[in-house]
Amino acid sequence: MKRRFITTLGVVSLAAMCAFVSSPVRSQNRNPNNPYLYTTGSWGQSYRDQWGHWKVGLTPMGEGNSAWDIETGQDNPVVVAFVDTGLDYLHPQIARANVWINPNPNTKPSGGGQNRYVDDLMGWNFVDGDNNPWDNDGHGTFTAGIVAATINDGQGIAGINRGVKIMPLRVLNFLGRGQTAQIIPAIIYAADHGAKIINMSIEQDMAARSQGLQWAVDYAYKKGVLIVVAAGNQGRDTSTTSPSGLNHVLTVAGTDTHDKRLGFSNWGPSVRISAPAEEILSLRARKTDMLVMFGAKEYARRHAVLGPDAKYYHATGTSFGAPFVTGVASLILAKNPNLTPDQVEHMLLMSADDVESPGWDQLTGYGRLNARKALEADPNYYLYCEVHKLTPAKDDNGADVVKVFGTVRGSTLDRYEVQLGQANQDVSTYKKLDEKQGKSVDSGLVASFPVSEISSQGEWVVRVVAYDSAGKMRESRNSMKVE
Amino acid sequence: MRKQSVIAILMVLVFSLAASRHASAQKPPTPPPELTKEDVANELTNATKQMNDVTNHLGANAAAANKAADKWREQEKAIEKLRTDAKKEADQAKDLADQALEAAKKCDKAKYADLKMKATSHANSAKSMTKSADSKEAGLTKGMDALQNQMNDAEKASLKAETDAGNIKGGTNMAPMGGFNKAQQAYNDALDDKQTASDLRSYRITRDFIKGQLKDAKTDNDPTKALDGVKEDLDAAEKALKDCPPKEGAMAPKPTNEIYVALDTNCGTNVDLCNIKEGQDSRPVADSLGMQDCGAIATTTTDAVYHCPGSASRADTIKTRAKAKDICVGFSETNYCEGGAPFNSERSKFVNPVPIVIQLRRAVR
């Protein structure tokens, strides 16, 4: 027996042997068995290499708390379009089965301009106007890898959805730059070709809301497509940005390993949820080093490249939070393909783990993504309560008032209260200023109260609490500094 | 009866119209200005001077023209060579354009681009040479015709002055007539001079020969057809290329070959033409808004989105035109071309929301 064992080892390569011996995955027979899901400190950090997966509940199966115990995505492939820099579809962790193959490629031109979509076998390259969405930047492969990297194949990282079909739509060039004239047709293409989710880890440098992008997003939304977008990294209000500030998109802010909002993550009324976005590990497209492409000044070439075969990369940005939400949304749709974008959104938001300020806040939305709870959530239940803005104003009689703007709506909304208190006091001492029964407000005036309610200078908090018919509550707070 | 009256009236109208037209045709021509003795005297004096100038230099000029024959012949040969070279260049351009078209039909974009560049280069060379030959030919012809033109002008002036003098009373007896007759005689004498006559004859033969050669060279080496063919081939190639993206077998990693102009702020305009009926061609609608240079980038069953190059200021112009023409435009806005992928591990500075500050000092009790 001993002799036979030695003989067997003799034909195994040293590298494979080392991998076999060092992998805790195989020895513990865990599923998935991708090494980086279990390792820590591969680039000198103190936390797990794929900490984001662990944080949102994408943990080894069979231990009772993994989202994958509920749905792996294997049996019901969901088409997810990545409107990005393209895809390294030859990466060893991008399986052919996980790339969308057009069942009916165009034989005659069907689009306009250079987007004629002839032989659109696996998406489209809107930058060059051809059918090869190859990734020369690395960003698209990185974001897609978070969702679609092969799982349980004993190598590298674990993706999120085993059966997902990635539709690569290249709209950003090798520097990660693009324009709305390319993004608009890409969204339309995705909606027309069966994508159920569009991931757009894209932001516009100009502080403007693009009507063109809104038009395209509305088109996709009406066709039942969930559009997940990154909040952006400019540290500014999303209400003036695209696509993170558009209607009918699910805007994802970035959080760190301690569930704190990343300082550069954009904020504002349109932020709906947050997800891990700091030092995320994913796939590296061949011959790319996206931080170099991006022009990061203090970055040393290949510093973020990881793995003996340089197939992996770690980077920070809200770009990488959005794919976590996209991936979990794709698991939800794999479990129940008939859900509408709104229902998927309800499940994601209502199940998020509340972080930062209690309830909805403009930094992290309804909280940090929780994959398992999202998969278990009721698609028809929602209770939204958001305080977007406080504004001093005068009422019809000329009296000084504070207007509270926001959203309060729910599937079984019973009532909501408006409370006022000082920041340093417990909320139980807050004074109830107003109560409204069964009235929904969607991005409008929630309440208005006289300034005379404020008795001193300092920091004051307006707290709105919504209740459903079963007595469940959801709150949102916003503070004001009184001088 | 009533019908006959109508016919009669019509006939009267027709005749009256014809009469009026005839009357206008018979309008007497404007009489030439009446010549005065003074005019004719001036004419004679000028003609005399012109003729004497020619006569005084005729011998020398004729000899010089005769001597210039060899030089002109050399110039002519150079022009002929330019034209034959231009034709060769044009033919070469056409061959290359033919090959470029074939490459385009086979979807070989790289080969097409290379051949197109070469064909265009040869075509430009042909055009340049032809232009140079035309210019040199005009110069040579002008030089060769100078002496003959000078003589012709003098003879014409002389004939006119003589005719005009005969047309007025006492014109042939005017004082300048004496000098004029002498000048004519001197001119005729100069022409009769053996050497001059010989030189002039040689000059004219040479000049006519060279002109004939130039004409033949131009006709035989006309590059127009070849150059037109080059344009036709390259246009056809561009069309062919649009219908041949790479096939699945060609799907492979693409090299980075893009050029990014970071400071380009003329990103153009995106325009949504709405209420387009299914099957309706949106092109005429776009054209009616002055969007001939814009291309459709996305279409749905009800809308067609166009991208227009150039300045973003077109957005407002298009909106205004659409409003005036009552054409549905969903949006007309800048094509934001500064979009990008939001990640950067160096953006570590924390930026928080602007704190909501309410200035209520006076209102607070």
Query: Which CATH number goes with the domain that contains A357?
Result: 3.40.50.200
Q: How many Å lie between the alpha carbon of B123 and the closest alpha carbon of chain A? A: 28
Last-in-domain residue among A329, A356, A376: A376
Distance in angstroms (rounded) separating the CA atoms of residues A472 and A470: 6
What rounded mean pLDDT belongs to chain A?
89
pLDDT score of B359: 64
Distance in angstroms (rounded) separating the CA atoms of residues B128 and A183: 44
Which chain A residue has the Cα nearest residue B345?
A: A316
pLDDT score of B201: 86
A216 plus A233 within the same structural domain: yes
Burial class (CB in 10 A: 0-12, 13-18, 19+), A336: middle
Which of A90, A183, A479 faces B339 most closely, judged by CB atoms?
Answer: A183
Q: How many Å lie between the alpha carbon of A31 and the closest alpha carbon of chain B? A: 31
Which of A116, A131, A134 faces B253 most closely, judged by CB atoms?
Answer: A134
Buried b (16+ CB within 10 A) or exposed e, B244-275: ebbeeeebeebeeeeeeeeeeeebbbbbbbbe
Lowest mean pLDDT among A271-285, B102-116, B182-196: B102-116
Number of domains forming the structure of chain A: 3
Distance in angstroms (rounded) separating the CA atoms of residues A406 and A427: 20
A245 plus A223 within the same structural domain: yes
A309 plus A393 within the same structural domain: no
CB contact under 8 A, B360 and A454: yes
pLDDT score of B79: 93
A159 plus A192 within the same structural domain: yes
Across A218-234, average pLDDT = 95
The backbone torsions φ and ψ at residue A444, rounded to the nearest 5 degrees and listed phi first, read -150, -160
Instruction: Decide if pLDDT at A29 tops 50.
Output: yes
Last-in-domain residue among A376, A402, A424: A376
Q: Percent of chain A scored above 70 by pLDDT?
A: 91
B299: tokens are 């279409």
Chain A residues 400-459 within an 8 A CB cutoff of chain B? 400, 402, 451-452, 454-457
CB contact under 8 A, A456 and B331: no
Q: Using alpha carbons, list the distances in angstroms from residue A194 to A100, A123, B180.
A: 10, 11, 100
Task: Cite the DSSP H helix spans in A60-196.
Answer: 139-148, 180-192
For residues A287 and A339, the answer to whether their CB atoms sit within 8 Å is no
Q: How many Å lie between the alpha carbon of B142 and the closest alpha carbon of chain A? A: 53
Which of B245, B299, B341 faces A319 most closely, judged by CB atoms?
Answer: B341
Distance in angstroms (rounded) separating the CA atoms of residues B92 and B86: 10
Query: Domain spans of chain B?
Result: 37-235, 269-334
Listed ranges A159-163, B155-159, B308-312; the one with the highest mean pLDDT: A159-163
CB contact under 8 A, B268 and A181: yes
CB contact under 8 A, A235 and B349: yes
Which of the four pLDDT bands, split at 50, 70 and 90, describes residue B244? low
- Strands of B33-111, DSSP E: none
Q: Percent of chain B scored above 70 by pLDDT?
A: 76
Which of the four pLDDT bands, split at 50, 70 and 90, describes residue A1? very low
A12 plus A105 within the same structural domain: no
Say yes or no: A185 contacts chain B, CB-CB below 8 A.
Answer: yes
Residue A241 per-residue DSSP state: S
Q: With H, G, I as helix, E, B as strand and everything else as coil, classify residue A334.
A: helix
Residue A467 lies in a domain: yes
Which of the four pLDDT bands, split at 50, 70 and 90, describes residue B243? low
Distance in angstroms (rounded) separating the CA atoms of residues A476 and A405: 11
A338 plus A414 within the same structural domain: no
Buried b (16+ CB within 10 A) or exposed e, B287-319: eebebeebbbbbbbebbbbbbbeeebebbeebb
Residue A38 lies in a domain: no
A403 plus A306 within the same structural domain: no
Q: How many Å lie between the alpha carbon of A351 and the closest alpha carbon of chain B? A: 25
Say yes or no: B307 contacts chain A, CB-CB below 8 A.
Answer: yes
Which pLDDT tens digit goes with each residue over B251-277? 666 665 544 433 445 688 999 999 988
Residue A308 lies in a domain: yes
CB contact under 8 A, A267 and B299: no
What rounded mean pLDDT belongs to chain B?
80
A412 plus A331 within the same structural domain: no
pLDDT score of B23: 36
Q: How far is CA B170 from the centre of its chain?
A: 55
Q: How many Å lie between the alpha carbon of A313 and the closest alpha carbon of chain B? A: 12
Residue A358: cis peptide before it, omega within 30 degrees of 0: no
pLDDT score of A426: 94
Residue A43 lies in a domain: no
Lowest mean pLDDT among A256-265, B18-27, B104-113: B18-27
Helix or strand run (H / E) with residue A194:
none
List the single best residue of A120, A124, A179, A387 to mutate versus B (max B Cβ within 10 A).
A179
Instruction: Decide if pLDDT at B221 tops 60.
Output: yes
Q: How many Å lie between the alpha carbon of B101 and the closest alpha carbon of chain A? A: 20
A245 plus A359 within the same structural domain: yes
Q: How many Å lie between the alpha carbon of B343 and the closest alpha carbon of chain A? A: 4
Distance in angstroms (rounded) separating the CA atoms of residues A142 and A380: 33
Which of A134, A189, A483 faces B359 most closely, judged by CB atoms?
Answer: A483
Q: Quick one: CA torsion of A90, A94, A96, A100, rounded to 10 degrees?
A: -110
pLDDT score of A115: 67
B244: tokens are 């041949």
Say yes or no: B345 contacts chain A, CB-CB below 8 A.
Answer: yes
Say yes or no: B290 contacts chain A, CB-CB below 8 A.
Answer: no
Residue A42 lies in a domain: no
Say yes or no: B241 contacts chain A, CB-CB below 8 A.
Answer: no
pLDDT score of B43: 87
Q: Which residue did the predictor score with more confidence, A296 or A454?
A: A454
pLDDT score of A327: 98
CB contact under 8 A, A210 and B333: yes
Which pLDDT tens digit goes with each residue over A383-401? 999 999 998 888 888 888 9
For residues B325 and B290, the answer to whether their CB atoms sit within 8 Å is no
Which of A112, A264, A454 faces B347 most closely, judged by CB atoms?
Answer: A264
Chains A, B: CB contacts under 8 A, how many?
A: 261
Last-in-domain residue among A357, A376, A395: A376
pLDDT score of A292: 78
A350 plus A451 within the same structural domain: no
CATH topology of domain B269-334: Alpha-Beta Plaits (3.30.70)
Residues of the domain holding A19: 2-33
pLDDT score of B348: 43
Lowest mean pLDDT among A147-151, A236-240, A409-413: A236-240
Q: How many Å lie between the alpha carbon of B335 and the closest alpha carbon of chain A? A: 6
CB contact under 8 A, B260 and A173: yes
pTM (global) more than 0.95: no
A415 plus A322 within the same structural domain: no
List the single best residue of A244, A264, A479, A483 to mutate versus B (max B Cβ within 10 A).
A264
A108 plus A197 within the same structural domain: yes
Which of A139, A178, A452 faces B343 most closely, judged by CB atoms?
Answer: A139
Which of the four pLDDT bands, split at 50, 70 and 90, describes residue B354? low
For residues A256 and A287, the answer to whether their CB atoms sit within 8 Å is no
Count of CB atoms situated within 10 Å of the CB of A156: 26
Chain A residues 84-123 within an 8 A CB cutoff of chain B? 84-85, 88, 90, 109, 111-116, 118-119, 121-122
Across B60-80, average pLDDT = 88
Place of tokens 């002039």: B200
Residue A226 lies in a domain: yes
**ipTM of this complex prediction, to 2 decimal places:** 0.85
Percent helix, strand and coil across chain B, each to the nearest 5 = 65, 5, 30
Instruction: Decide if pLDDT at A258 tops 50.
Output: yes
Residue A460 lies in a domain: yes
Residue A337 lies in a domain: yes
Distance in angstroms (rounded) separating the CA atoms of residues A322 and B11: 91
